[in-house]
């Protein structure tokens, strides 16, 4: 193992431990400004390898910064992707245990389930043909960096802030997702109101980009996998003891409840 590979492993361990202990860490770019995008994805890969060695299973990928609202909120304007494992999936209508997270935020998304694999450069028509079903979804992002602040390489190394996700009911891929209303309610109040069209103008474009970006890393989007298209609106901080409810105009709803606050922090 050369020095760079050793550093990649060490930083993956640092981010993995931060996630497991729900403790924020400093941005990697502050300590190691030389890390480039390619190494950042290698750190992500190494942190996922640690999860797989604990018997977690890869079940899909997530896209990030596919809407202007998200790019503006975080000050990053490149598409990024991260990986989803089975242990990140929460039961619909279930409970988010706040003590497992540093400073979680919630995002309204759309999920695709694939019936055939997709790799590399695919057309919009090919991407659409690979979709078995669609679902409304909530993504819980929880940057492992202090104050939820990061550079592009930092967030990529940190598995694009991916932390957990909840899927609503699967529905037919014939449902029109070009302009679904997406209303993110917290405790009965609409906190974000948007449209699925905010996701690259059409969420299927996010699937095309997911295949391309994963392909660049030598990965294939597999049949049976879930792909999260990215948030349609800005993310909202998740309060403790709350009810989160995503309403869509035609795809159904997703609910999630949150537990008591993390000890030592205010709700
Ligand atoms: C990065 C992840 C962005 C999305 O849906 O755009 C993302 C972050 O904002 O922490 O998941
Ligand atoms: Mg997201």
The pLDDT assigned to 267 comes to: 41
Burial of 266 (0-12, 13-18, 19+ CB in 10 A): exposed
* CA separation for the pair 27, 63 (Å, rounded): 21
Neighbours of ion ligand 2 (CB under 5 A): 107, 139, 231
Would you say the CB of residue 163 lies under 6 angstroms from ligand 1?
no
pLDDT value of position 264 = 57
Average pLDDT over residues 97-106: 97
Ligand 1 atom index nearest CA of 150: 10
Dist. CA 65 → ligand 1 center (Å): 6
Q: How far is residue 43's CA from residue 176's CA, in Å, rounded to a whole number? A: 37
Q: What is the mean pLDDT of residues 126-153?
A: 98
Position 1 scores a pLDDT of: 84
**Rounded average pLDDT over 100-126:** 98
Q: Are 35 and 161 in contact (CB under 8 A)?
A: no
Atom 11 of ligand 1 has which residue's CA nearest to it? 64
Please check whether residue 225 lies inside any domain of the structure: yes
Is residue 29 classed as helix, strand or coil in its secondary structure? Answer: helix
Express each pLDDT in 64-97 by its tens digit: 999 999 999 999 989 999 999 999 999 999 999 9
Task: Establish if 43 belongs to a structural domain.
Answer: yes
Query: Is 266 a residue whose pLDDT tops 50?
Result: no
**CA-closest residue to ligand 1 atom 4:** 64
What is the 77 CA–ligand 2 centroid distance (Å)?
14
Q: 64 in a domain, yes or no?
A: yes
Q: How far apart are CA 221 and CA 63, in angstroms?
A: 12
Give pTM, 2 decimals. 0.97
CATH number of residue 149's parent domain: 3.90.850.10
Question: Model confidence over 21-30: pLDDT tens digits?
Answer: 999 999 999 9
The confidence score (pLDDT) of residue 262 equals: 78
**Within the chain, what is the greatest distance between any pair of CA atoms?**
54
Q: Is residue 266 part of a domain?
A: no
Atom index in ligand 1 nearest the CA of residue 143 equals 10
For 34-67, what is each residue's pLDDT tens digit?
Answer: 999 999 999 999 999 999 999 999 999 999 999 9
Whether ligand 1 lies within 6 angstroms of the CB of 143 is answered as yes
User: Tokens in use for 172?
Assistant: 């037919």
pLDDT tens digit sequence for 166-183: 999 999 999 999 999 999
Which helix (H) or strand (E) segment holds residue 181: the answer is strand 181-186
* Structural domain includes residue 232: yes
Q: What is the pLDDT of residue 265?
A: 53
Domain total in the chain: 1
Tell me, yes or no, whether 113 lies in a domain.
yes
Judge whether 265 lies within some domain: no
Range of the domain at 52: 3-258
Above 90 in pLDDT, residue 193?
A: yes
């Amino acid at each position: 193992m050369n020095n760079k590979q050793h550093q990649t492993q060490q930083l993956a361990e640092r981010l993995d431990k931060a996630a497991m202990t729900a403790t924020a860490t400093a941005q990697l770019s502050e300590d190691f400004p030389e890390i480039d995008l390619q190494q950042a994805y290698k750190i992500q890969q190494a942190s996922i390898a640690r999860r797989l060695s604990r018997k977690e299973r890869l079940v899909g990928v997530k896209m990030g910064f596919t809407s202007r609202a998200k790019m503006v909120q975080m000050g990053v304007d490149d598409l990024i992707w991260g990986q989803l494992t089975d242990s990140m999936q929460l039961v619909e209508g279930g409970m988010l245990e706040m003590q497992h997270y540093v400073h979680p935020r919630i995002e309204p998304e759309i999920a695709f389930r694939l019936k055939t694999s997709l790799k590399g450069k695919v057309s919009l028509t090919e991407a659409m043909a690979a979709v078995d079903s669609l679902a409304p979804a909530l993504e819980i992002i929880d940057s492992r960096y202090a104050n939820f602040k990061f550079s592009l390489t930092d967030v990529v190394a940190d598995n694009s802030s991916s932390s957990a996700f909840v899927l609503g009911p699967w529905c037919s891929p014939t449902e029109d997702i070009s302009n679904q209303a997406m209303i993110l309610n917290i405790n009965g109040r609409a906190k974000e109101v948007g449209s699925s069209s905010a996701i690259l103008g059409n969420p299927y474009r996010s699937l095309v980009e997911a295949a391309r970006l994963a392909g660049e890393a030598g990965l294939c989007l597999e049949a049976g996998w879930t792909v999260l298209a990215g948030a349609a609106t800005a993310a909202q901080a998740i309060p403790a003891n709350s009810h989160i409810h995503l309403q869509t105009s035609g795809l159904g709803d997703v609910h999630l409840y949150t537990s008591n606050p993390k000890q030592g922090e205010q709700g």
